[in-house]
Structure formats: structure tokens, C-alpha cells
Structure 1
Amino acid sequence: MQIFTCPACSARLYFHNTGCRCGHQVSFDPDAATMRINAIPCDNREVIGCNWQADQCGLCRSCAMTKTVPDIGTPDNVPLWAKTEAAKRWMLANLMRWGWFTAQDAGDRPVFKLLSEQTATGDADVIMGHANGVITINVTEASEATRKERQEDLGELYRTMLGHMRHEMAHFLFVRLSASAEFVQAFRALFGDETADYGAALKRHYQSPKPADNNHITSYATAHPHEDWAETTAHLLHLTDLLDSASAASLVLPGGPAQGIDAYAETDTERLVTQAVETAIAINHVNRALDLPDLYPFVLQPGVRDKLAFVHRHLRLRA
């Protein structure tokens, strides 16, 4: 993620900021990828701290994609909703760097249902997923304690709300890309036949999960070509943003990318991934000094890198 400046005083601003120390309120302009001081703010600013400028019907482009919000009759759901929307805005701003969901992008937009397991009428069962352009997100996992408990139960190396957003959005991006017969043919040659029975594949996975291997970034990626695509795409987004954010913060390594580079402009996937991994390894070393977990605890095998390159090539088609 880029680091921004205040239009009034040039002070440093971060993506989540709603105001500057100089006293001006700021709003993020997703098309210009900059902060504004004279824009009309999103209607959700006071409710959930949304810091994007209004785009339509008083809502920003990100909030307008949310058609269902969690039951705010349960007060704990409001901060969970806020954290979930913040992750969605971050994910969308990343994809806009490649031209997705900008004003010039005439393609379909996803619809988000943000649901909570806690409602005013009792507990509810919420299953995250994507179907027919609708992305369902469980805001309960915006609670760090809840998410960490499930991560441990599932034996996962990484589980975050931003990760959920990137994974489920990947399914939506696949639908848009699959309008091209050429894309589908190339996808099947590398990932497999996505028309294989999805329910049966998931049942087999949960009964006897396979470990990550040369061709699959995670165990879940082995379940079905759709999940392989979603996991691979999410990791490409992780790595691209990792490198971009490190560069924006002036965290550079000898022989690595120069300060201030635009990772989203990189066309060489191998170079992008290698530099992102080297940066992560350096930060891992720092984290261990404070007994913190590794930043990016994954090993990228050659087959996985081939799939990352495929995803990178197709997501950059809009750049």
C-alpha cells in the first residue's frame, strides 16, 4: 500500500486516516489514489469510520458494494463490521492499481453480504464463500481472538480478514476472467478442470486433507481447482502488497527494488515474488527479536510459482 500526503500541509497520511494533524478531515479518492480535503465523505464515516469519498447514493464505491450488513442490534457487531469494511477497502484499493473496479472498468461488481454469528435473535451459522457474484463474509472473524482460535483448530499458517477478502474476491475475479474461452483453456491446463464436482471434492478434502506440495500453495488449494485458484490469487495479492508496502515505507534490501517502486507495475512475476519473499525473510528475522510470528510463513515451490505467474499475467490485463 502507498503512503499518502495531506493536500493541505504535506504531512504523511496512511490509508486508514480520516484526518490530518493539521486539522483537516481527509477522504480517499479511489480513482486518483490520493487523499482529498474537499470531498464529500462516505455516509458510513460516522458509523464505521469509512474514510473514502462518497461515490453514489451517499456511499463510497466500497460501501456501495455491501448489500447486507451485520445485525447492529447486537452492539459488538458494529466494530466487527468496521474492521471487515476496512479490510475490504484495502483489498479493493490494491486491485484498483491493476484497473479493477475503477471508474473506467465497465465490468460487473461483486455484492457483499457481511453477516455475523451473533444476532439479536440468537446465534446464526455463517459460511463464507462466493456464489453468483455474491461474496459472503463472516464478520465474527474480525475478532482476533475468534480468528486465532479457528486458525489453531484448522492448523493454518495464516488466517486474517484481509486474507478472507482476497480469497473470496479471487472467486469473483475468476468468473469475470472466465468469459474468455482462451483463459479457461489455459486455466484448465495448469489448475485442472474446474467443472469437477465441487461438493464431493470438499468432502474428500475434509475427510483426508493433503499437505501443500510443489503445485499447491496450501492444503486447501489441493481440494479443487477453484480453491487452488483462489488460494494462489490471494497469495499473489499478499506478496505484491507486501513488496509495495515495504518500498513505500523505505524498507529496502541491498540488491532489491529501489525505494518508492510500484510493485503493481512489475511485469516479471519471478522478480516480484523473489523480492517479496526476501523482504519477508528479513522482517521475519526482526519479528523473532520480539518473539512474534513470521510475516509470511510459506515456501513457494516451482509449480506454485508457475501458477502465481499465470494469475499475475491475467490480473494485470486491466493495468
Structure 2
Amino acid sequence: MQVFHCPACGATVFFHNTACTCGQPLTFDPDSQTMQQDLPFCANRDDIGCNWTAEGGTLCRSCAMTETVPDLRKPENMPLWERSEHAKRWVLANLMRWGWFTPGDPGARPAFRMLSEQTASGTTDVIMGHAGGTITLNVTEASDMVLAQRQAQFGELYRTMIGHIRHEMAHFLFLRLSGDPAFLGAFRKSFGDERADYGDALTTHYKTPEPPGETHITAYATAHPHEDWAETIAHLLHLTDLLDSTAASGLSLPDGPPADYDAYEDADTQRLLTLAVDISIAMNHVNRALDLPDLYPFVLTPAVREKLAFAHTALRIGS
């Protein structure tokens, strides 16, 4: 993510800020990817701190995609919804850098169901996933404590709300891209035949899980071609945004990236991945000095890099 500046005083501000320290109210314009003043506020600004501009009515482009909100009769759901929407806006802003969900993109938009395990009538199960263009998110995992518990429970090296959204958004992007027969043919060569029974594949995976080996980015990616794609896309977005944020923040290594580098404009996947891995290794070293987990604890094998390159080309529709 790039570094933003106040349109009134030029001070550095962050993606989620609704106001600058100088007192200027801030509104994010997703098309210019800048903070602006005097734009109409999203109707959710006061409730969940949405700082995007309203479009064609009362809601912003991101909030308009949310069809269901968690049970707000439980007060603890409000901050969880806020954090989940913040993560959604972050992922959408990233994808807009590649032309997705912009005024120039005529394709369908995803719909979101933001649900909580805690409701006024008691506890309920919420299964995250994508089906027919609708993404269901469990806002309960916006809680740091719950997220840490489930990361340990499932033995995952990385688990965040932004990560969940990137993964589920990948399923939606596949739905959009699969309308092109050329994409499907190339996809099946790289990831396998997605027409294989999904339910049977997941049952087998959970009964006898396989390690990622040399061909998959995570163990879950081995379950089915759809999950291999979703995990690959999520990691492509992780690494691209990591590198973009590094350059925007002025951090650097002797071999790059340069200060004016835009990771979302770089069409050379192998250069992008190499730069991102070099940065992540350096940051892993810094984190270990503070006894913190590695920033990016994954290995990109040649086979995984090939899949990332295919995904990178497919997603850069508007670049």
C-alpha cells in the first residue's frame, strides 16, 4: 500500500484515517487512490469509520458490496464489523490498482455477507467461503484473540482477516476469469482440473492432509485446484503489497526496489517475487531480533513461482 498525504497540509496519513492531525477531514477516492477533501462521505463513516467517498447515493463502492452485516444487537460485533470492513477496503484498493472494480471494469462485483458467531439469540456457526459471487466472512476472526487461537488450532503459519478476504476474493476472480475458454485451458495446465468433485477433495484433504511439497504454496492448496488457485492469488497479493509498501515507505536493500517503484505496475513476475522475498528475508531477521514471528514464513519453489506468474498475468487486466 502506498503512503498517503493530507490534501490540506501535506502531512503523512494512513489508509484508514478519517482526519489529519491538522483537523482536515479526509475522504479516500478509490479511483485516484488519494486522500481528498470536500468529497461526500460514505454513510457508514460514523458507524464503522469508513473514509471512502459515497457514490451514487449514500454508500461508498466498498460498503455497497456488503449485503448482510453482523447482528448489531450484540455490541461487540460493531468493532469486529469495522475491522473486517477496513480489511475489505484494503484488499479492494489493492485490486483496483490492477483495474478490478473500477469505473472501467464492466464485470460483476462480489457481494459480501458479514456474519458473526455471536448473535442476540446465541452462538451460531459461520463458515467462510465463496458461492456464486457471494463471499461470506466471519467477523469474529477480526478479534486478535480468536485469530491467534485458530491459527494455533489449524497449524497455520499465517492467518489474518486481510488474508481471508484475499483468499475468498480469489474464488470470485476465478468466476470472472473463467468466462474466457483460453484462461480455463491455461488454468488447468497449471493447477489441474477444477471440475474434480470439490466435496470429495476436501474430505480427503482433512482425512489425510498432504504437505505442500514442491508444487504448492501451502498444505491447503493441495486440497483442490480451486484452493490451489485461491492460495496462490492470496500470496501473490501478499507479496505485491508487501513490496509496494516497502518502496512507498522508503525502505530499501542494495539491489532494490528503488524509491519510485510501483509493484502493481511491474509486469515482470520473477523480478517482483525476487524483490519481495529479499525484503521478507530482511524483515524476518528484524522480527527475530524482537522474538516475533517471521513476516513471511513461506518458500517459493520454482513450481510455485510458475503458478504465481500465471496468476499475476491473469490478474493484471487493467495495468
2:134 match = 134
CA distances 1:76-132 after superposition (whole Å, capped 9, x unpaired): 000000000000000000000000001111100000000000000111110000000
The CA distance in 1 between the partners of 2:65 and 2:260, in whole Å, is 31
Alpha-carbon distance, 1:317 to partner: 2.2
Name the residue aligned to 2:238. Answer: 238
Cα deviations by residue, 1:218-266 (Å, 9 ceiling, x for unpaired): 0000000000000000000000000000110101100111013100000
Give the match's secondary structure for 2:137. Answer: strand
Tell me how far 1:4 sits from its aligned partner: 1.1
What residue identity is the alignment partner of 2:286? V
Which amino acid is 2:242 matched to? L
The residue aligned with 2:270 is 270
CA contact (8 A) 2:73 2:119 kept: yes
Structure 1 partner of 2:200: 200
SS of match in other structure, 1:135: strand
**Contact 1:56-1:64 at 8 Å conserved across structures:** no
Match of 2:303 in 1: 303
RMSD, aligned CA: 0.6
- 2:100–2:317 contact (8 Å) kept in structure 1: no
- The normalised TM-score by structure 2 is 0.99
Give yes or no for contact 1:49–1:82 (8 Å, CA) kept in 2.
Answer: yes
Quote the residue 1:292 is aligned against.
292
Alignment deviations for residues 177-198 of structure 1 (CA, whole Å, 9 cap, x no partner): 0000000000001100000000
**SS state of the match for residue 252, structure 2?**
coil
Counterpart for residue 9 of structure 1: 9
Distance 1:21 1:193 in 2: 53
Rounded to whole Å, the distance in 1 between the matches of 2:307 and 2:241 is 18
Mapped partners of 2:76, 2:70: distance in 1? 10
Tell which deviates more after alignment, 15-24 or 223-232: 15-24
1:225 aligns with 2:225: yes
1:152 equivalent to 2:117? Answer no
Query: 1:87, 1:165 within 8 Å by CA — same for their partners in 2?
Result: yes
In structure 1, distance between residues paired with 2:16 and 2:317: 28
* Ranges in structure 2 where 5+ consecutive residues have no aligned partner: none
Structure 1's unaligned 5+ residue stretches are none
Task: Give yes or no for contact 2:128–2:135 (8 Å, CA) kept in 1.
Answer: yes
SS in 2 for 1:266: coil
Structure-1 residue corresponding to 2:89:
89
Residues of 2 paired with 1:288 and 1:318: CA distance? Answer: 38
Q: What is the alpha-carbon distance in structure 2 between the residues aligned to residue 252 and residue 101 of structure 1? A: 31
Hey, what does 1:248 align to over in structure 2? Answer: 248
In structure 2, distance between residues paired with 1:31 and 1:188: 34
Q: Does the residue aligned with 2:308 lie in a helix, a strand or coil? A: helix
Structure 2 Cα separation of the partners of residues 311 and 25 of structure 1: 38
Tell me how far 1:46 sits from its aligned partner. Answer: 0.4
Shift of 1:304: 0.3
Matched, 1:115 2:96: no
1:25 touches 1:37 (CA, 8 Å); kept in 2? yes
Question: In structure 2, what is the Cα distance between the partners aligned to 1:231 and 1:262?
Answer: 23
Q: Deviations over 1:142-198 (max 9, x none)?
A: 001101111111111000000000000000000000000000000001100000000
**One-letter amino acid of the structure 2 residue matched with residue 196 of structure 1:** A
Q: Deviations over 1:28-59 (max 9, x none)?
A: 00001111111111110100011111113301
Distance 1:119 1:260 in 2: 47
CA distance in 1, matches of 2:41, 2:28: 9
> Take 1:154 and 1:272, find their aligned partners in 2: how far apart are those partners?
30
Give the match for residue 181 of structure 2: 181
CA contact (8 A) 1:209 1:219 kept: yes
Question: Which amino acid in 2 is paired with 1:176?
Answer: R
